[in-house]
Chains A and B, each alone.
Chain A
Amino acid sequence: MNLLWLTPLAASLMFFVFGPLIAHLFRQPPSQKRHFGAMMLLLRLPKQLRRRRRIQDWLLLVLRILCIMLFVMAALQPVLRWPESNTDLEQAKRMVFILDDSLSMDHVVEAKGLNLDDQTAFTTARSAMVEQVKSLPEGVEIGLVLTAGEAKTLTPELKSDRAEIMTLITERSQQFGDTDLAGALKQARRLLDGRGGSIHVYSDEAGLGTVSACEEELSLLASQKAALVPHLTRAERPQNVAVVSAVYGEGVEGGSVRFELRNYGESDREVTTTAILPDGTEINTFVTVPAGGLSEEMVTVPRITEGGIGSIRVDDDGLKSDNLFYFQLPQIGAARVLLIDGEPGATTSDSEIYYLERAISPWGSNRGGALPDVVGETGIALLNRETHRVVFMANIGNPASLAPTLTAFVRDGGGLFVSLGDNVTVERYNSALSDILPTQLRALEQVSHAQEKGKGTRIPDVEHPIFSPYKRGGLSGFSQLRFKSIFSVEPFDTNDRSKVLLELDNGMPLLIEHNVGQGKVYLLTSTIDDEWGNLPLQATFLPLIQRSIAQLGGASGSGGQRIKGLVDEPIRLDFGGSVVDLVVDGPAGPVFTQKQGNSIVFTPAVPGAHIVHAKGGPPLAQAAVNINPDESVIERPQGLLETAAAIEPEAFTKRVPLFPYFLWLALALFALQAWLAWHNQEDSDVVHA
């Protein structure tokens, strides 16, 4: 609401307000006279002191000044104006209701107490909208538009069935998307079809660009003679503290997660935050966030932490929907691998597992990856399901003592990599490990003479996750592998449970995958050292071991692509191979995906971890999806109607000329001061008399 002066030049007349002031200061000598006996003493006062005057008749003076001011203000022709949309009868017959169901509308308008749901802006708006629809007369055509995410129309055309509209409104629930108010206005305008009508907007109008984005639509509304009636629905002083970022970084212990909290309210807040790691560990902190400000906090992650999607939760009752922020957390610390060395050498390099140990942990444990625990055959007792994810059995002579533990380990989800060697006895293996090996060992066979290079290898299925990264290059490295001796195995059926991953040129299986219970076994029919082949000497050795460990579950938390996303914004993921079997699981269940070539596209509707995987397979990608941070902004930098009034003043402004009010008030004051002056004069005359 503001005041407009049509004739501002008349302000110069304001000079006349000094008239009464001067008149009251330099007035005529007082009319009252009195015989004064102590005149001699009065004359002893200094002359300046004797002349001292105070302003007399304050009330009269104020009245006169006010009177002149009001006359001048009347001459200025003031017009009071404020944004308002007038709805005429015709416009009231065609109505479109816009219900803001975006996330920011979840802010609490009225707290109900412990056992009752708080009244949010959304529930308030929904109730008010239902009441308004209920009160409409018969025959009014109504449309309904929603704003969350991408604005959508719930009624393809205007309808007269109020009950249906009310049902549609009542069924709506709070969404996590941002506010597409401009889109909603556009949809509403389309529903009105240029034939006039009124658009009732139930919204909190919050967000930095929410209203400013509507300027074009507001202008079009005015041109189509559509009335705009905002029903502002928001708390008087909304509160909200939200996590706006969370990032894992290196640091002491297992590193740290730094996160930022922003306070969108008008008063300082102290809030409890909880960092929830993928393994369920919760770390609490208390953070004070200044009003309108940002606070950064950090939590230290344990030295060994499972990778995945963690979250930061802030306990804030103002706007609960944005209390969780999801972030990617890599596998932290070593995923321990138990190496059972069947042929320890006199020196380190003579050991069976010399190459294997370095391939597992080429940079030590500080940079993640796996950390090997090397033991002898008797060291199986050290196997700990909590810390060891994979067991490597290298050239063990008699596995009988290990078999029960390893079988249980694998069935419970552990990974076992079995490599053979000259210690291996076929009978012992077949009898002890028959439950977990993919097939029976047959015999040790020399596939190449000592003078020859050895048999080369080939990959039956390059789509297998172990080899898929090499599809576009690097597969040739496997052709450099040469083996002179391997154990032959009994024929077995290749199926989902057992498959050959790598074989010699002559078709003998070299690396066989076998699923057992919840776990998995890889059988290498040759040695893991360089005694029977050149495997550890080739560039493919290290990635092959790393990928194998990953497949066996050694780095399940860090597997797959790691991406970030926002609610209602499409996420595209490119995969090297077929995506036919890929599915996306979100916090609310499977998410609809579109498959485009080697890519899948999905649009998350709720925040949280979204996992992409093949049915029954390990995660191929993990998306940490958060709400649009703009929706946490509960401030209302500009109003919808005010913006409309600024764009189209004629259509969205109410004007009231104040000239007659000022004039009548001035005349009344003039009469009052005249009466008061007359009354004072009369009193003075009485005293004098």
Chain B
Amino acid sequence: MNTVWDPETVARAARIQLRARELAWGYRGGQHASKRVSKGIEFMDTKEYAPGDPIRDIDWRVAARSDRLVIRRQVAETDLKIFLVLDASADMNAPSDSIADSPFDRAVLLLASLAILLQRRGNAVGLLVLGGGESESVYLPPKRSKTHLSLLMTTLAAIEPSGRAQIADGLSFCAQHFNARSLCVVFSDLMEDNSEWPRALNALAARHVDVRMAHVYSEKEFELDFEKPIQFYSQEGLGLLPVDPEAIREAFAEVCSAYKLELVQQFSNSRGLYVPCPIEYAPGEALIRLLRGV
């Protein structure tokens, strides 16, 4: 990771900020949506009751009129603490042929845009960087000031993806440090063993932390859109793998679909939100979903 005073880092921070502001400009008047329920707060929508939902939120009038149990969901202008978690593992920097952005670049852009939008509305925004070559994760506690936002941008610009993210550890860290009125948005390629995630996600859910997982990946990679045999390698110590893309394309597509389905299942079980963010698509839609939490 470069120092925040490095001229190159400063310039890069400026570019990140510029692009993030452009992206955020379109959503300036938008409301930050929270699934946090609070008394006397404006009604948002309803949803079917699911085990684990608070009983007091059940709309008994609807239940009386029908056989269905429905939860009233409400939103409110709130000053949440926002924790933005960035996966800076080495494979996040895998290049993409079709567009300029790597998954890491896209994650940084989304994160920065979100930070700007939330900060403008007076929310305290913090940053947790997983991986990035540092022995300890970079952590900026949530603050509302503009200087904090600048620091956050500069910090983002200084990050060089490397090493492994250890997402499970990062989520556990969040579960320990975040309080109940907070929102945690994670930007990651989710290319790690996910067997340990449910425990951390459940801990966050128990603390009523609203977790939103932005899965940043390359569609081209998932479709294995390469013609000739090629040697793939990972910078996270997974070695070198010669493959014939055309020969295994179908099988690999099935593996990818199964993995995405597994992630959706995993996050919905923990009342989290899984938002796929393929880098080949414009980031706007993903940003809306992350903001509104739907």
Contact = CB atoms under 8 A, between A and B. Distances in A.
B137 to A, nearest CB: 21
A50 B251 CA distance: 9
Given A39-B191, A41-B255, A50-B243, A29 B228 contact: no
A23 interface: no
A33 interface: yes
A45 B255 contact: yes
B94 A36 contact: yes
B200 to A, nearest CB: 19
Contact of A42 (B103, B241, B244): B241
Given A36-B221, A37-B103, A56 B238 contact: no
A45 B233 contact: no
B270 to A, nearest CB: 21
A685 to B, nearest CB: 12
A52 interface: yes
B251 A49 contact: yes
Interface string B174-191: 000000000000000101
Contacts of B217: 37-38
B230 A45 contact: no
Nearest to A27: B229
Contacts of A42: 232, 241, 243, 252
Contacts of A56: 228-229, 244
Nearest to B191: A40
B144 to A, nearest CB: 35
Given A38-B217, A38-B222, A39-B238, A45 B232 contact: no
A449 interface: no
- For the complex, would chain B's binding face be called helix, strand, loop or mixed by DSSP majority? mixed
Contacts of B229: 30, 32, 53, 56
Given A41-B252, A41-B255, A45-B255, A36 B234 contact: yes
Given A35-B94, A36-B221, A50 B259 contact: no
Nearest to A680: B228
Interface in B196-246: 217-218, 221-222, 226, 228-236, 238, 240-244, 246
A30 B259 contact: no
A54 interface: yes
B233 A37 contact: no
A32 B93 CA distance: 18
Contacts, number: 103
A521 B232 CA distance: 124
Nearest to B238: A39
- For the complex, would chain A's binding face be called helix, strand, loop or mixed by DSSP majority? mixed
A34 interface: yes
Given A44-B255, A50-B248, A39 B230 contact: no
Contacts of A49: 248, 251
Contacts of A32: 228-231
A38 B228 CA distance: 18
B247 interface: yes
B256 interface: yes
A32 B222 CA distance: 19
Contacts of A684: 228
Interface in A15-33: 29-30, 32-33
Contact of A37 (B94, B230, B259): B94
Given A30-B228, A45-B252, A52-B244, A40 B192 contact: yes
Candidate in A29, A38, A40 with the most chain B CB atoms within 10 angstroms: A38
A56 B229 CA distance: 8
Candidate in A39, A42, A44, A684 with the most chain B CB atoms within 10 angstroms: A39
Contacts of A36: 91, 94, 221, 232-234, 241
Nearest to B244: A53
B92 interface: yes
Contact of B231 (A33, A53, A54): A33
A252 interface: no
A381 interface: no
Nearest to B234: A39
Nearest to A38: B221
Contact of A34 (B222, B232, B251, B255): B232
A321 B69 CA distance: 104
Contacts of A689: none
Interface in A671-689: 684, 687
Given A42-B252, A45-B255, A49-B251, A34 B230 contact: yes
B251 A45 contact: yes
A45 B247 CA distance: 12
A43 interface: yes
B256 A52 contact: no
Contacts of B246: 54
A40 B247 CA distance: 18
B95 interface: yes
Contact of A38 (B93, B191, B247, B248): B191
A60 to B, nearest CB: 13
B234 A30 contact: no
B241 A41 contact: no
Given A41-B259, A49-B251, A33 B228 contact: no
Contacts of B91: 35-37, 39
B266 to A, nearest CB: 15
B277 to A, nearest CB: 13
B22 to A, nearest CB: 26
B176 to A, nearest CB: 26
A35 B242 CA distance: 12
Contact of B221 (A29, A37, A50, A687): A37
A44 B226 CA distance: 19
Nearest to B216: A37
A35 B231 CA distance: 9
A33 to B, nearest CB: 4
B248 A52 contact: yes
Given A35-B93, A41-B222, A54-B247, 4 more contacts: A32-B228, A37-B217, A37-B218, A56-B228
Interface of A: 29-30, 32-45, 49-50, 52-54, 56, 684, 687
A-B pairs with lowest CB-CB distance, top 5 = A37-B94, A36-B232, A39-B234, A30-B229, A52-B247
Interface of B: 91-95, 103, 189, 191-192, 217-218, 221-222, 226, 228-236, 238, 240-244, 246-248, 251-252, 255-256, 259
